[in-house]
Structure 1
Amino acid sequence: MKEQTPLPPARCDTTQRMQVIAAAQAIGIPRDYGRLHHLRVVREPRKLVCIGEDIHGRHQWLAPRAARAWQRMHDAAANDDVVLQIVSAYRSASYQLLIVERKLARGQSIEDILRVSAAPGYSEHHSGRVVDITTPGYVALEEEFELSPAFAWLQREAQRFGFSLSYPRGNRHGIAYEPWHWCWRR
């Protein structure tokens, strides 16, 4: 039996993205969020390519050129005996809003949420060029990833494939240090 190709996730067009940003403002995200954090509204890609499953068995997606760069980087790391695993990749503005709403429902303040996540409409994940990465033996989405051989390899090699760390310590966006968050910038 042939395995079916998964369908890409829904994407937000310009009108939907502006509706999501308005909904985010209605739940407490400041109207001047972009200016305050030196972030722009992120356009979502027209096309997405499946890059495989994440550590939870969910299909993940990137824009085509970023997907090719990810595959080259992933393979090069494997050739160096380094395992790069996907935690998260493309995420729509609508999905980012759901994440914020869930965190609010669990009692987190909007200020605390925005220290660790970009506001809906402003996340690099919307671009289809970002991969959150982990490696076996390290807790996903935790700073301890910086102690891994995978992080050391990424620091040395990721730029060769067009990837860079988006949120180093003390970044100008006011987003927490994320050693796992790598964006393809070519």
Structure 2
Amino acid sequence: MYLPEHLETIWQQLGIAPEILQQKSLCVFEEAAELVDVETAADGRVWQLIPAAAQAWQAMQATALSNGIELKIASAYRASSRQVELIERKLNLGQSIDEILQVLAPPGCSEHHTGRAIDIYQPGGPVIEEAFEQTTAFAWLSQFAVEYGFSLSFPRNNPFGYVYEPWHWCWQAQLGQKN
């Protein structure tokens, strides 16, 4: 797997060994070129996805709502520069890079860079917590998300070494039947 020079420099500054790319079977993703606004959070942050993923998300969200399940976005597109900020914040709090890389992808390796990944929550329920798997939203997503092209990226014991993330779903065109 090839690590672009600009990422190699960033990784070096953060203390991330390039070997982790192969050790964790990580991909390097290009950042999304075209994004559309899909949702505005209560704090004013605007969540964005690529147009096709946005269309699939909105269709899935509407169907879930018609089934009595409200789905909201906790996170969507994230630039590599934002990934660097998140890692630096955790480093400044005294966490080791090994601990951090169990919950955050190295810059350039996050599905969020693609504009296809979303972190989902159900209002009134846990946000970006494993307990999300106990919600009716997770049960609904587990049954129907694939029909809209979304799949759970990081199940238990995933090959990438990330913690289980029942909230993290990524859109892939070939999966969807209704989008």
Q: TM-score, normalised by structure 2?
A: 0.91
What is the 5 A alignment of 1:13-162? Answer: 18-162=5-149
53-62 or 131-140, which deviates more = 53-62
Could you say which residue in structure 2 is the equivalent of 1:178? 165
Retained in 1: the 8 A contact 2:74–2:127?
Answer: yes
Unaligned runs of 5+ in 1: 1-16
Q: Which amino acid aligns with 2:22?
A: R
Q: Percent identity?
A: 46
Q: Which amino acid aligns with 2:15?
A: G
Kindly report structure 1 stretches of 4+ aligned residues shifted beyond 4 Å: none
Q: TM-score, normalised by structure 1?
A: 0.88
Shift of 1:26: 2.2
Instruction: Give the Cα–Cα distance (whole angstroms) in 2 for the partners of residues 55 and 153 of structure 1.
Output: 24
Instruction: Give the Cα–Cα distance (whole angstroms) in 1 for the partners of residues 20 and 41 of structure 2.
Output: 30
Shift of 1:55: 4.9
Aligned length: 170
Shift of 1:87: 0.3
Q: SS of the counterpart of 1:120?
A: coil
Unaligned runs of 5+ in 2: 174-179
Indicate how the Cα distance of structure 1 residues 74 and 21 shifts in structure 2: closer, same or farther if over 3 A, else same: farther
Q: Over aligned residues, Cα RMSD in angstroms?
A: 1.2
Could you say which residue in structure 2 is the equivalent of 1:9? none
Retained in 1: the 8 A contact 2:11–2:18?
Answer: no
Instruction: Give the Cα–Cα distance (whole angstroms) in 1 for the partners of residues 75 and 106 of structure 2.
Output: 16
Instruction: Give the Cα–Cα distance (whole angstroms) in 1 for the partners of residues 84 and 5 of structure 2.
Output: 12
Retained in 2: the 8 A contact 1:48–1:62?
Answer: yes
Deviation by residue 1:86-106 (Cα, 9 ceiling, x = unmatched): 100000111101100011001
Q: Which amino acid aligns with 1:51?
A: V
Retained in 2: the 8 A contact 1:145–1:151?
Answer: yes
Shift of 1:21: 4.2
Deviation by residue 1:107-149 (Cα, 9 ceiling, x = unmatched): 1110110001111110000000001001122221100000000
Pick one of 149, 167, 174 that aligns with 2:154: 167
Shift of 1:54: 2.8
